[in-house]
Structure 1
């Protein structure tokens, strides 16, 4: 019997991880244990809070009457385990059931953390699902766990959930800046002047600190060092080691350059030329693969231009957005003023939270056909040919010239697509409306937009 497995199972106590900041990611009603159950898979970047979302679910189960003798939690990201194989997983389940044989009869709740560390994890999990009276939750640090790998192993037998670092709402609650009564207030009830100032200031803090749980409350030097270490670990474990990259320095340098492009167009050709100029041999093919691996590891997202026709296929370069505005700030060069890019980054992430279930092109940028003006985001589904919502993001709207520049792209898109509404999110500026006939652009302060349900 593996003593490390025994110790991990025996010594786990939920109290050691409290207080647990509640996350707003809804996993649905827990399924009763049975063989052949759907698996609930939570994916996201390392250290974004996946484990604590499991702990939150475990506390809910216990509060509903499920004893701890039926709840098994195991984290496979542990160097003491050595090479993690299906035999390791078998020993985890067998050891827990030998410690709590009643769980075999009543049904067990299995929580497997960072399961992608196991070789052939998909085949092993499928066998456990088919042969065990269980309700199963899994986390992983790769989007492949809900696309290529999950689809090949489970085909409709898994539900996937994406967990990003703290949203602005979660940031406010975790740091006790305002209470739930403020966040749950109806928009019609409004906010006092004091609340508006507090929330606007908190928005500025959020764009600097970001939403990684462990980064909250740290002094600036420690926070920057921590977030930079997250990037290094993801590049090493989830990219270089996972994909057997033979040029680790190229991968690390490219990660820094891509994160430095946060909220901007990503030109692989330009970065390739820059890297060659400093003596790093690389190719566009390798950098393109690395960008895909970074997306799989949830380090960043690439947003492409909207295309109404599936055959059309845009040749434009994508824009890169970091997994978190605080991580983007920690990865940028000292002295760089990128408030606008980080606000745009945070808006993209919030849109991603609000559009779960969309296909990958559900959030895209848009360039008008008349004058080529750029709109930061349009929300819509090409395959369903849905009408879409245009959103523009700007740091401030403090004069008429800025207002004209920021609204003209929206007006042109709305005219081209016969839309009546557009949204302008501003870091600094009051709530107001711009009208042309029946069409309206609604300007809303960022802090307020992030609190909308």
Structure 2
């Protein structure tokens, strides 16, 4: 098969220009603002797991620019994952952009907005994007799902001339928007809005479904069986397209098992040694280095996140075990065994994901877990803040309910110890239903339903 000819590239550019940008359900912004086109603008890079909605978020921005009066001819969207581009010449990206400017000369003279989707599918994309940003009057937004667009890769290629914007599957508020469920309006400026009993019931029920269905946009309209199959296919897609191409001769079955283990054990400590022993016990042959590398690649592909232990030391702790979290509670549900459905861990996963959204533009390791330096080693699920800068913290404990007195004593007691050690006067216990306040000698503990906390109420 021959590479695309100049004529076929011209046709594909014309097709891309004629593409009607669809109307989209609004997603929360991960890009605060886009500057007017000019040389030396930062390159805006939208990263995230495959199918989380990066392309439609680009469409959202294109619609916004058009609504602001930007000439549509000066906005160019192109998807480099198009199979008709294979096999592609090394100059493919340059050829496509030159053809766009040939067809629309004013876009080069006046400046243009370029939205380049799945750029990692083309060779040499890093150099082309850097040259465009430095020498052309452009505002450049690129998207990608692969580990080739990991933070390390971006830092190496763009050397401080780019800004990464992490996208996640739907938040609970976005999930409600997809399902046309009314949520309290937080923009009114009149404090926390009131929620009627009927609306509270609707939101309670919606959050229950959110913990099962998750937040991948493409599965929201599917029935239960089709949704589970699709989410399992997403995992296989990550393995085939993001992991194997970066890990050499890794056995695909081994990579799948590592991915499944991480998703099924969301909210648990992840020990590479324990994972290696479990794999060897069922016949897999692998080294500690190989398993550790696969875990790292799954993290770079945004399938999982690793939560470190809180520490005020500059030196990393070698005796602590990070907790692993699935990117989405719905994917954890879809890939778990029928006898392994843990509602508490899926609730904890959803809260972790929301905390990562809220702290996306902060420092590294803004969210950690906390283990008290006491004989009892009391644990708190999430501590939010910057230890080394002594900035304010927030403490979050997550549990499905506290009707059992033993559970209540454990959750409240752990928070009391953490409040005493950190000096935090207000802490939170996030549950499915319960709402109350608990006064302690170290401060107030707010018990709040997950739907309410997730909506920022």
What TM-score comes out, normalization by structure 1 length? 0.95
1:418 to 423, 428, 438: 423
Tell me, yes or no, if the aligned pair for 1:420 and 1:439 is still in contact at 8 Å: yes
Find the residue that maps to 2:244 and give its secondary structure. Answer: helix
- Of residues 395, 398, 415 in structure 2, which corresponds to 1:390? 395
User: Per-residue deviation at 1:440?
Assistant: 1.0
CA contact (8 A) 2:78 2:115 kept: yes
Question: 2:129 corresponds to which residue?
Answer: 125
Contact 2:398 2:431 in 1 (8 A): yes
Residues 50-77 of structure 1 deviation map (CA, whole Å, 9 limit, x = unaligned): 0011001111111111122111111111
Answering whether residue 271 of structure 2 is matched by residue 267 of structure 1, we say yes
Structure 1 SS opposite 2:410: helix
Give the drift of 1:260: 0.9
Cα deviation 1:369-425 (Å, max 9, x = unaligned): 121111100011233232421110001122433211211110111112222111110
Any conservation in 2 of the 1:8–1:74 contact (CA below 8 Å)? no
Q: Are the aligned partners of 1:397 and 1:428 in contact in 2 as well (CA < 8 Å)?
A: no
Q: Paired residues, what number?
A: 452
Aligned to 1:427: 432
Report the 3-state secondary structure (helix = DSSP H, G, I; strand = E; otherwise coil) of the residue aligned with 1:398: coil
Question: Given the alignment, which residue of 440, 447, 451 partners 1:447?
Answer: 451
Q: 1:402 corresponds to which residue?
A: 407
Q: Which runs of 5+ in 2 are unaligned?
A: none
Distance 1:183 1:447 in 2: 18
What is the distance in 2 between the residues matched to 1:264 and 1:128?
Answer: 44
Describe the superposition over 1:15-40 as per-residue Cα deviations: whole angstroms up to 9, x where unpaired: 75533111102412321111221111
Q: 1:302 aligns with which of 300, 306, 320?
A: 306
Q: What are the Cα deviations for residues 99-135 of structure 1, in whole angstroms up to 9, with x where unaligned?
A: 1111111111111111122223222211121221111
Alignment of 1:228 with 2:242, yes or no, is no
Q: CA deviation at 1:201?
A: 0.5
Q: What is the aligned partner in structure 1 of residue 323 from structure 2?
A: 319
- Return the alpha-carbon distance in structure 2 between the equivalents of residues 300 and 4 of structure 1: 39
SS in 1 for 2:444: strand
1:239 and 1:245 in contact (8 A); partners too: no
1:338 maps to which of 335, 338, 342:
342
RMSD of Structure 2 on Structure 1 (CA): 2.0
Instruction: Say which of 170, 175, 189 aligns to 1:171.
Output: 175
Residue 69 of structure 1 pairs with residue 69 of structure 2: no
2: CA distance between counterparts of 1:156 and 1:425?
38
Say whether 1:277 aligns with 2:269: no
Cα offset for 1:365?
0.7
| Distance across 2 between alignment mates of 1:185 and 1:445 | 23
Q: Is the 8 A contact 1:41 1:146 kept in 2?
A: no
- Please give the secondary structure, in 1, of the residue aligned with 2:93: helix
**Any conservation in 2 of the 1:42–1:50 contact (CA below 8 Å)?**
yes
Q: Partner residue of 1:380? A: 385
Q: Distance in 2 between matches of 1:296 and 1:396?
A: 34
Aligned partner of 1:31 in structure 2 is 35
SS of residue in 2 equivalent to 1:27: coil
Secondary structure of 1:12's counterpart equals helix
3-state SS, counterpart of residue 124 of structure 1: helix
TM-score (norm 2): 0.94
Asked whether the 8 Å contact 1:310–1:382 carries over to 2, the reply is no
Alpha-carbon separation, structure 1, partners of 2:328 and 2:452: 19
Query: Deviations 1:70-94 (Å, cap 9, x if unpaired)?
Result: 1111111122212445500011101
Q: 1:180 to 1:425 in 2, by over 3 A?
A: closer
Q: CA contact under 8 A between 1:4 and 1:81: conserved in structure 2?
A: no
Name the structure 2 match of 1:193: 197
User: Match of 1:51?
Assistant: 55
Worse overlay, 55-64 or 72-81: 72-81
Check whether the contact 1:305–1:318 (CA below 8 A) recurs between aligned residues.
Answer: yes
Offset at 1:183? 8.4
